[in-house]
Amino acid sequence: MGQNIALLEDQHSLSPDLLPTKSESRTWKAGHFFSIWMGSVHNVPSYVTIGGFFALGMSVWQVFFIIMLSSLLLAVMMVLNGHAGSKYGIPFSILLRSSYGMKGALFPGVLRGVIAAIMWFGLQTYAGSLAVTILIGEFWPAYLTLGGGFNFLGLNLPGLLSFLLFWMINVLCIFAGMERLGKLTKFVSPLVFVVFGGMAIWSINLAGGIAPILSYSVKGVEGNSFFIFMSCVSAIMATWVAQILSVADITRFSRSNKDQSIGQISGLIITYLLFAVASITIIVGSEIAFGVPIWNFLNVVERFDSKFAIILSLITICISTLSVNIIGNIIPAGFQLTALFPKRLNFKTGALIATIIGILIMPWKLMENPTSILAFLNIVGGLLSPVIGVMLTHYFLICKKKINLQELYPLDLKDQFPYGINIPAMLATLIAGIISLLGNFVPAFGLLTSISWFTGISLAVLLYLLFLYTSQLLAIKFGDIKQSESR
């Protein structure tokens, strides 16, 4: 493996960020992977999603089971799609070439690595800046009233300053390197357990004990309970579709596949167990105490009567948001932009460009209209889930976990696929994506759209195998015809 990497380095003038990770740079242990996704679990959208499950009429135990089933499924998907990264050390943008071809990889790569990543980066940066504003206000109350009626495209002066400050911290992390980022994720792990465990205890006391929460009465689910249950699981998985796709960008730094497997499985399941307890107790406990559920945990923090608890909680939220923003958004965007312009950009310049675009899209404006944001992310998620199906099918069933690195870095730009596109993979992705989203326009397909994550992946697997088998039969048939004609 080491000889292959050295050979690729000698032969290519590409950015070294796109080449397989060297063995000395593979330093991430299971502990690093245990904590990297905590920020993705404990955030405002996740809590709002759980609140939506209760609004559907789900009971406490049904919601708990949905969360834990999703965590198990998510852990398996992360480990499976992270296998190639840990084995070959290649980033997501290069791994896509194996299943889609040199040119074909651009379509799913741009969707995930540029559009979705930059959108999420802007939104997460703005969400983190809200915590920064509250945090600064705890030390300097006058900060909250700076600028008076100042307004910059919808942001007051404290909001603008907090956004730029948190944005700059994200940018500094780009240049810190993966080693320091790994240490950051390990540092935030115990803080997350302390803070969100404390929120759960606070909510239980607020409700008068655990018994009232467990006996919380619900109106019951209306309609087919099984499909509503699966739609809830699909909703949680859909928020992870981008991270599942580009997990190779992280696992390429793993010491071994065992490290990333143990770390991600244990980290996600244990973190989701804490999330299940915290989210259920916070939402149900606040409704019992105040008559209205609190779905935004920043509002929960503001109700604490201890200044130390408020500051510790806000710092933890900022660090966890920063961690997931770097790993889930900046890294994929940086690598994908580098793959699009390999001779002009490296990872750091590509990531910097992504962060600048993240400001230009004015995410605070986008959050003023949540309906349009959810619609956009739903479309991207519906198109990206089939990519997972194609990638896993190609790697495990077609390639049998064996990749020829020379085919992914061709010197003469000649691709293993005609015209640089794996036609069966592209067709399967497009058709599965369209069908999984068709329910937004054709009510008859509404059921499939309600479980779009499952629909997209399962259809992509079946269609890819069908199209691949058909193309092979046609190739054999036309090959026999040409041979007979030559005779």
- Is residue 77 scored above 90 in pLDDT? yes
- Is residue 69 scored above 90 in pLDDT? yes
Across 389-411, average pLDDT: 89
Q: What is the pTM of this model?
A: 0.81
Comparison of pLDDT for 474 and 101, the residue scoring more: 101
| Letter string b/e over residues 243-253, b meaning 16 or more CB atoms within 10 A of that residue's CB | bbbbbbbbbbb
Cα–Cα dist 87/351, whole Å: 25
Comparison of pLDDT for 254 and 3, the residue scoring more: 254
Comparison of pLDDT for 437 and 376, the residue scoring more: 437
Cα–Cα dist 71/46, whole Å: 13
The one-letter code for the residue type at 6 is A
Across 292-321, average pLDDT: 78
Comparison of pLDDT for 128 and 70, the residue scoring more: 70
The percent of residues in the chain predicted with pLDDT above 90, rounded, is: 26
Res. 468 pLDDT band, cuts 50 70 90 = very high
Question: What is the per-residue DSSP string for 320-337?
Answer: HHHHHHIIIIIHHHHHHH
Q: Which single residue is written with the structure tokens 């949540």? A: 370
Cα–Cα dist 30/36, whole Å: 10
The one-letter code for the residue type at 270 is I
- Is residue 103 scored above 50 in pLDDT? yes
pLDDT (tens digit, 9 = 90+) per residue, 307-348?
Answer: 888 888 888 888 878 877 887 788 888 877 887 787 788 888
Sign of torsion, CA 34 36 39 41?
Answer: negative
Across 238-247, average pLDDT: 88
27-369 — its CATH code?
1.10.4160.10
Cα–Cα dist 47/127, whole Å: 13
- Is residue 62 scored above 50 in pLDDT? yes
pLDDT (tens digit, 9 = 90+) per residue, 344-398?
Answer: 888 888 888 888 988 888 888 766 654 555 556 567 677 789 999 999 999 999 9
Res. 68 pLDDT band, cuts 50 70 90 = very high
Q: Enter the DSSP assignment of 403.
A: -
SS3 254: strand
pLDDT value at position 467? 95
Res. 165 pLDDT band, cuts 50 70 90 = very high
| Letter string b/e over residues 225-240, b meaning 16 or more CB atoms within 10 A of that residue's CB | eeebbbbbbbbbbbbb
Res. 267 pLDDT band, cuts 50 70 90 = very high
pLDDT value at position 10? 47
Residues 393, 397, 400, 406: what is their CA dihedral angle, to the nearest 10 degrees?
-50
Range of lowest pLDDT (41-45, 224-228, 328-332): 41-45
pLDDT (tens digit, 9 = 90+) per residue, 443-458?
Answer: 888 888 888 899 999 9
Computed over every residue of the chain, the mean pLDDT equals 82
186-195, 216-225, 311-320, range with greatest mean pLDDT = 311-320
Cα–Cα dist 472/475, whole Å: 5
3-12, 23-32, 59-68, 340-349, range with greatest mean pLDDT = 59-68
- Is residue 258 scored above 60 in pLDDT? yes
Comparison of pLDDT for 56 and 391, the residue scoring more: 391
| Letter string b/e over residues 404-413, b meaning 16 or more CB atoms within 10 A of that residue's CB | ebeebbeeee
Comparison of pLDDT for 413 and 296, the residue scoring more: 296
Comparison of pLDDT for 6 and 448, the residue scoring more: 448
Residue-range domain boundaries for the chain: 27-369
- Is residue 286 scored above 50 in pLDDT? yes
pLDDT value at position 487? 46
- In the chain, what is the greatest distance between 2 CA atoms, to the nearest angstrom? 90
The percent of residues in the chain predicted with pLDDT above 70, rounded, is: 85
Q: Which of 396, 411, 467, 452 is nearest to 80 (CA)?
A: 396
Across 72-100, average pLDDT: 94
Across 207-233, average pLDDT: 80
**Which residues are CB-contacts of 236 (< 8 A; sequence separation ≥ 6)?**
49, 66, 67, 70, 74
pLDDT (tens digit, 9 = 90+) per residue, 111-137?
Answer: 887 777 788 888 888 888 988 998 999
Res. 278 pLDDT band, cuts 50 70 90 = confident
pLDDT value at position 260? 95
**Which residues are CB-contacts of 180 (< 8 A; sequence separation ≥ 6)?**
173
- Is residue 416 scored above 70 in pLDDT? yes
pLDDT value at position 413? 57
